[in-house]
A and B are shown apart, each in its own frame.
Chain A
Amino acid sequence: MSKVKTHKIIGLRSTLLAIVFFIFIILLSNQFDAYNQSQLTNIATLLIAVFSITLLTGASGQISLGQGAIMAVGGYSSALLVTRLGFSMWISFILAIFISALFGLFLGLAAARLSGPYLAGTTLVMALAIPSIAVRFEGFFSGDVGLSVDYGNPPDWLTNLLGEISIEVWSLYVVLPFTAIALFAVLNLSNTRTGRTWRAVRDNEVAAALAGINIGRTKVIVFVCASGLAGLAGALYGFRGLVAPSVYPTDLSLTLLTAAVIGGLRSIGGAIFGTFAIVFLPDLIEKITKNFAIPENIGTYLPALTIGLLLLITVILNPRGAAGALEHLRHRKRH
């Protein structure tokens, strides 16, 4: 099969899967009540950020504990463009991708020289430092108070077409197209030569270099792509109501990493599963525990404890996450 034809098939499959995902979420939202519709919006938003970890850590082997901070870069970029310069929300989302990617370029240039715990430490420091910048330059970033932004109301043409649209459904309509496009992009990147190059660097840098791959440049490119995605997620996340340091705390980065690990760091399907799990698990635990007389000082910590436990079990017993386990089951069935 020619190279062009292979690319066309991959493109077609990616498009098809993104469309299936889009329709599936829309159909799912129709079955959900308003709260779970808002949770779907959360999933659609955070999924883009988890994809950035799938690319960065899963595909290229670079550990980042600071994706939440890059989300903050995207969030502040779009909120400042809207509130200070009067840009449209949609344009601000697109520009947030480029601004975050540019940030990722600088970060990537430094990161290309680091690996393992050194890179993890550097990105963690970034996660801690970026919210402080917003406070340090309070006049520009509005400090702790942050910038109040939202998705607004659905346009008239849409309400004329579909009837009354709730705030929750409108939020999902704003976010979901971006998630579908992100899914398309990640699928394409992963399955083409680019993805193979990244995986080659991840698996053996020396062998990859001997095969003619520029290691440093590859790492920087991955950082740029992952940062663009995280920035977009941050912009969408902020427009739920507020862009402020407390919206992008350090534990947001860890939550994203947890989702990626539980689902399977190297799998896009795993990213989807992991994101569903971290968003819906606390609700599920609350529903189960509601029927038991659990003391308040234990009940409030249960969701975090359960997710932490799930993460530990995954890392110890099933490091490839849910996607890896699924793959393993399929192999056992075949043989």
Chain B
Amino acid sequence: MTQDELKSVVVAKSIDARGTACPGPLLEAKKAIGTIASGDIMEIYSADEGTKQDIPKWCTKQGHEYLGSVDENGYFKVYMKKK
């Protein structure tokens, strides 16, 4: 997805994991994924650079769709769609 598409995407769940370092954001994402339905989009806020690489790997393993990330000031948002 392009940056513009990501910015206007409708998210079912938004989690703020900026207060945790690795493996915190992944753990928060795992805990939240159970609360959304299949096909829903979730966004994860993180300030931990590793998250940008980790979330796509997690998605690949679990069969979710990784949509991309958007950089904000001092943090970023990662988007994924539940399988």
Whether A and B are associated in the same complex: the answer reads no
Q: Please give the residue numbers on chain B whose beta carbons come within 8 Å of chain A beta carbons, in ascending order.
A: none
Q: Please give the residue numbers on chain A whose beta carbons come within 8 Å of chain B beta carbons, in ascending order.
A: none
